[in-house]
Every structure is written in C-alpha cells, then in structure tokens.
Structure 1
C-alpha cells in the first residue's frame, strides 16, 4: 500500500483544510489523460467507485484502482518551494524521484 511521508501528510492536510470543502476531501491520483505514464493529481471531494483509500493523520489519498497497483510499494512525499508551489514525488525504497 502507498505510504505517506510526514511532508505529504502536512501538504495534503493544508490543501484540503478549506472549511467550504466536505470533510472527506482528499487528493486523488489517477492516470493522466495524454496516454503517457504520467499520473494526474487533483483535489477530490470524495473517492470514486473502486478507489483505494489511503488515510494517515487526517490526510486522505484516493487512488484509482490501476494506480493503486502501480504505487503499492511506493512512498508519496511533498514539498512546498519558496514561491509556494507544491511538488509531489513518488519514491521507491525511501528515495523520492520527481513525478
């Protein structure tokens, strides 16, 4: 199952903390639309049918079923740069690799 670093938990909780959003809001990871191996990440108000749900310390990640298999033994990390932009990375064996 995908694991979340403390950085990812913090960023996801910050992104989904808007009081106007439903309490089950999380981040959804699904295949990109361009046919490549790229993944698409978006804010989702709830999981879609068939999604695997990863929850840690109030941070929720919804994984499309094929993506859940792909990321089964991976770690999701996130950082915010000086401009306030968020960068999510996926790591194998604890070493983040850019996504």
Structure 2
C-alpha cells in the first residue's frame, strides 16, 4: 500500500510504525520521480503489508524535505524502529531498489 505522508502523520505512519517503512521524497514536476512510481507500485504489490510505502511530496511538505535532506529527488529512506539508514537517490532499476532494501533490512 502506498500512502501520502505529511508532517501531520509522519510520526505515526513512519517513526512509530512498529515495522519497516519505505519513504520516497518526490515532487510532481520531477520526471524521474514519475518514472519511479510504477516501480514503487509493483514493489508494493509484491511486498504487500510487509513493507508499507509512503510518499512525501516535497512541494507540499518542504519542512520534511529539508529535514530529510531531499536536495536531490527522488530520495528514498528505509525506516526501521523510528530511524532511517543510508539514503538511496534515483535508483536505476527495481532490482537496484530491492537490493538496497534487502541490504538495509539485513
């Protein structure tokens, strides 16, 4: 399931989720972000509730964009236990994204 993350629900849906959450920082004008959307949808279908995916529109949520260092988009973070590891910027393929997720969860 892909959901919209805002500053109002960030703590509940990401930091206090009680399970890993994949977060993408994006913007509607970002061509690469739009190309990544079907990859995230396929990943969501594949992983189901095992790994929720949240999208933060940095135009609508500039404070979260700044807090999470979204100087280049798309930027992805995997949150576990309220913390995120290394960011992934503009993955080149679904395989690269899945490999990065698996490495973060190991």
TM-score (normalizing by structure 1): 0.31
Higher relative contact order (CA 8 A, sep 6+): 2
Higher strand share: 1
TM-score with structure 2 setting the length: 0.30
- Please identify which structure carries the higher helix content: 2
